Structure 1
Amino acid sequence: NKEQYAEEALNLEDNIKQWKKIYEQVLTVEIHGQHFVYRPLSRFEFRRISELEIDDGDKEEIICSVATLFPESYDFVNDVPAAIPTQLTNLILEASGLSSPEETLNILTFYRDQMLDIDSQIDCIIKEAFPEFDLEDIPHWTIKQAYFYFSRAEWILANLRGSRIDINKNQIPQVPIPEHIKQHPTSELNNEIQEEKEIAETSTKEYPEEYYNLPPEFREQDSSNIDHFPEADLLFDDF
């Protein structure tokens, strides 16, 4: 009804933010003056609907009901122009990669081609050695984090599972160096590095000679005053 629709529309912006956290895609479209927010179907959902022994028109209505997020209460069966379920179903299937067998095969080919890239292979190798990580999260790691885990994954697979992975340096993805860094004179870069090193060295805290005779567990204490040494307290207790 109109009141329920108005309430849903009022919270639509917040709902879309939540839906984007749940679904792979959240899409919008206007058909015959009616706004819809929808998502792709999962393979399981599509398979179950396809197996139903009903006519195509009824399947379209079910597809729309399952994949439509807004308006949640929309009735795709009664008093609805026939073009709405048909057009919306086509959009839902297209977003789901299910509009045709050719489209589905193209998607599979695209992702198979990605696996020829060593960067994608590294993600899978890390996942095999560390199954607790999400495969979709690993590509978002920094180079240092990814290669830290990749080096450990190589060792685990080779030494604990007997699966040696041979990757030479020519296969490692090359990160392009920005032009402004290429044009930066090497001598200037070296000078900057040297200056940073000198600053770090001069800022290093100097300790008295007695400090280096202390056991390691005492070295984090302030050694600028001998009264702070645990040994000193023991000596003074004797007097």
Structure 2
Amino acid sequence: MPALDAVLNRAFGAFLFDMDGTVLNSIAAAERIWTAWAVRHGVDVETFLPTIHGVRAIDTIRRLNLPGVDAQAQAAYITVAEIEDVEGVVEILGAAAFLKALPADRWAMVTSAPRDLALRRMAAAGIPEPAVMITAEDVTAGKPDPAGYRLAAARLGVEPGDCLVFEDATAGILAAEAAGAPLMVVTATHQHPLQTPHATIDRYDGLQVRAGSDGRLSLSATRQEG
């Protein structure tokens, strides 16, 4: 498992985490809301739902290019609906304890969700609120653009290449790659095996983290997926 070994055999200045699908599972709630929205707008649900994950709502709606649809207004509507419905939002196994074990100034969340929705979902899943959180409002270009990861690294005072990014979705993986950051891909919510050259885990309860005297973070694993 050379990809995982490469991650375990070095220290990092900081860890950067995506949210949905990476530290918590909100698929059921998100797909309930987006399914109703798609039906209302005459969008084919089966082909549409796989495109909603890991990107900003406004980018998802703009990509459809629906006539007469105000993407900004519809994205705001989706956000309100998602804030109201967090039924079934749960942590990825071991994520909360893993995040709580990290030094507060050594990790950040980089999510395509708006801030209010991110805070609501994290609270529902028992995920601690980070000191640094980059949300949909903080960037003009969402994932796969690397702006969010670059901004998070800058706010933590480290270079993107010295950060380990935890991601699950293709858009986020591309964003981390474009930022020049090494990756740990979380596969807990994947329905099909992911072909990736990056290290993978399916849960956090087999990961241990150690902070060195210089504050740099090192990982060890008792269970390995890839």
Instruction: Give me the TM-score of the superposition, normalised by structure 2.
Output: 0.24
* Higher-Rg member (1/2): 1
Instruction: Give me the TM-score of the superposition, normalised by structure 1.
Output: 0.23
Greater length-normalized contact order (CA 8 Å, ≥ 6 residues apart): 2
**Richer in strand (by share):** 2
